[in-house]
Amino acid sequence: MSATAEPRTTGGDPGTGAWLHGVVREVTPAALAVTAGLDGVPVRVVRAAGLAAVVSGVSLSGYGEEAMRRNLEDLAWLERTARVHHAVVDGLSRAGAVVPARLATVHRDDDHLARVLVERCAELTATLDRLDGREEWGVKGYLVPGATPRAEAAPSGGGGAGAAYLRRRRAQLTARDEGQRVAAEAAAAVHDALTGYAVAARRHAPQDRRLSGAATAMVLNGAYLLDSTGVDGFAALLRTLGDRHPEIRLEPTGPWPAYSFVAEEPTTEPAHPVREPAADAARGPAWR
Amino acid sequence: MSAQPSVVQNSGQVLPAGHEPANLGDILERVLDRGIVIAGDIRVSLLDIELLTLKLRLVIASVDTARQIGIDWWEHDPWLSSRARPPVEPGPRDPEQVEAERRPRVARRAAAREEWDECDG
């Protein structure tokens, strides 16, 4: 794509821009009115190439390059903005297929955005076709401590209290490693089964516990694209898998707009080792 | 401990009713990491927004407050501290320069994912 950046206006009001929420085929005024955009301003539509881009008009003094670098570091701003962006995308997804834009996609004017719609029309249209009548569900799997058989009791043996402690400690560590291994295998099995059912699937890196807020490690962070008619079957499968794998607790989330299924190509899937944060306690205070 | 598996803890319902207020972590993960990338005119690379820093801030409302009470272990973590952000450059930036800076970050970020898993508990 040719460079579209224009010379900055120097001084004065930097003007307004268009913050892209998502691209749909068509949107009714009623659907647009459901969710307000950024800063409470109603969203509007930029149309081109048979596509409709839903945007928030934003002031470039607040959403220009420098302001955004600063603001994205401000958690309160980020949370507010992410929630509004998501709410708009989510509202659109209830009416039909939507290609969500990544956060902070801002164009200086509608013409620039329209040009992008034209340039990427084929790709966007193909993606919308693929998402028609489908929805994304997330499934998170958490390790269930103690759900796996404990390692054999430490053999009794000679030595003093120190040796006994070390044996106990080693047995504990072995049991923990074993629990993690079993949970990781369960996560892989669950993901495989859900992948077999879904139209498409992605396995994302597990969320850190400080983000997930869960008491135990996340071992599965999957996203599954489902036919809307297949959601009940998915739920039934999930129940079966939960029964089969008591070593992990499965938690579904959704329906989500198809955030995980609009990238041109799936990112390479990272390895998902399961680790118990043995070092955390030594490193710093427990966060919760 | 009960070995009872639970798909969802509440009321035997397997899938949530949907469109409940979603968890902030789940939202951030999606809007920052996923979604289609369309080159905007305003070039703010989300790769500049270090997710780890961000995640820490989800917990530590104010880094300064945390420091005051002696919580500063991340400053001694070689990975974290090496990812300290450079000062914001004033004025427009050459897109090629931005791209050139971005590439190694992308690579580092990929590498970092593995380490991130290690942080994960």
In angstroms, rounded to a whole number, what is the distance separating the alpha carbons of residues A116 and A119? 5
In the prediction, which pLDDT does A89 show? 96
Residue of A94, A102, A243 with shortest CB distance to B46: A102
SS3 (DSSP) at B36: strand
Instruction: For residue A75, name the pLDDT band (cuts at 50, 70, 90).
Output: confident
Smallest Cα–Cα separation from A168: which of A180, A146, A153? A153
This complex has an ipTM of 0.78
Residue A203 has pLDDT above 60, yes or no: yes
Nearest of B32, B48, B38 to residue A105 by alpha carbon: B38
What does the pLDDT average to over A234-246? 97
- Chains A & B: contacts with CB separation below 8 Å: 219
Residues A102 and A24 both lie in one domain: yes
Are residues A141 and A66 part of one domain? no
Is the Cβ pair A68, B24 closer than 8 Å?
no
Nearest CA in chain B to A241: B7
Using an 8 Å CB-CB cutoff, list chain B residues near A100. Answer: 30-31, 34-36
The mean of the pLDDT values for chain A is 84
Same structural domain, A207 and A234 = yes
- pTM value? 0.69
* Same domain membership, residue A258 and residue A190: yes
Q: Is residue A261 part of a domain?
A: yes
Segment B24-45, tens digit of pLDDT: 778 888 888 788 877 777 776 6
For residues A204 and A110, state if they share a domain: no
List CB contacts (< 8 A) between A205 and chain B.
113, 116-117
- CB–CB contact B44 A99 (8 Å): no
Residue at A255 is within a domain: yes
What is the distance, to the nearest Å, from the Cα of residue A246 to the centroid of all Cα atoms in its chain?
A: 25
In a mutational test of the A interface, the residue from B10, B27, B36 whose CB has the highest number of chain A CBs within 10 Å is B36
Residue A287: inside a domain, yes or no?
no
Confidence label for A148 from pLDDT (cuts 50, 70 and 90): low
Higher pLDDT, B29 or B47: B29
A86 and A143 together in one domain: no
- Helix A75-95 to helix B51-59 angle (10° resolution) is 100
Q: Do B31 and A259 touch (CB under 8 A)?
A: yes
Q: Both A273 and A141 in a single domain?
A: yes
Report yes or no on A123 lying in a domain: yes
Same domain, A114 and A146: no
Q: Considering Cα of A252, then A221, then A102, then B56, what sign does the dihedral take?
A: positive
pLDDT tens-digit series, residues B89-120: 344 455 565 556 556 555 555 554 444 443 34
pLDDT of B7 reads 39
- Average pLDDT in the A25-45 region? 92
Is the CB of A207 less than 8 angstroms away from the CB of B58?
no
Same domain assignment for residues A117 and A216? no
pLDDT for residue A268: 45
Q: Is residue A138 domain-shared with residue A238, that is, in the same domain?
A: yes
Asked whether residue A70 falls in the same domain as residue A141, the answer is no
A90 domain-assigned:
yes
pLDDT of residue B106: 55
A199 shares a domain with A116: no
Which of A58, A102, A238 best tests the B interface by mutation, with the highest count of B CBs <10 A? A102
User: Whose structure tokens read 């190509």?
Assistant: A265
B18 and chain A: CB distance < 8 Å anywhere? yes
What confidence category does residue A122 fall into, taking pLDDT thresholds of 50, 70 and 90?
very high
CB contact under 8 A, B38 and A255: no
Q: Is the pLDDT score of B76 beyond 80?
A: no
Those of residues 24-83 in B touching chain A at CB distance below 8 A are: 24-44, 46, 48-49, 53-59, 61, 71, 73
| CATH number, domain with residue A275 | 3.30.70.1430
Q: Per the domain annotation, does A171 fall within a domain?
A: no
One-letter-per-residue 3-state SS of chain A:
CCCCCCCCCCCCCCCEEEEEEEEECCCCHHHHHCCECHHHCECEEEEECCEEEEEEEEEHHHHCHHHHHHHCCCHHHHHHHHHHHHHHHHHHHHHCCCEEECCCCEECCHHHHHHHHHHCHHHHHHHHHHHCCEEEEEEEEEECCCCCCCCCCCCCCCCCHHHHHHHHHHHHHHHHHHHHHHHHHHHHHHHHHHHHHCCEEEECCCCCHHHHCCCCCEEEEEEEEEEHHHHHHHHHHHHHHHHHCCCEEEEEEEEECCHHHCCCCCCCCCCCCCCCCCCHHHHCCCCC
Is pLDDT larger for residue A10 or for residue A198? A198
For A6, the token pair is 């224009």
pLDDT digits (tens, 9 = 90+) for B53-75: 555 555 444 444 444 444 444 44
Question: Based on C-alpha coordinates, what's the Rg of chain A?
Answer: 24
Residue A82 falls within a domain, yes or no? yes
> Smallest Cβ distance to B5: which of A65, A73, A243?
A243
Residue A155 Cα, gap to closest chain B Cα (Å): 24
Q: Look at residues A102, A131, A160 and tell me which one is the last residue of a structural domain.
A: A131
In angstroms, the CA A104 to CA B32 distance is 9
Domain that holds residue A20: 16-131
Q: Please give the average per-residue pLDDT across A36-50, as a whole number.
A: 95
Do the Cβ atoms of B118 and A105 come within 8 Å?
A: no
Could you say which of A79, A208, A256 has the minimum Cβ distance to residue B120?
A: A208
- How many domains, chain A? 2
Task: Look at residue A160 and tell me if it is in a domain.
Answer: no
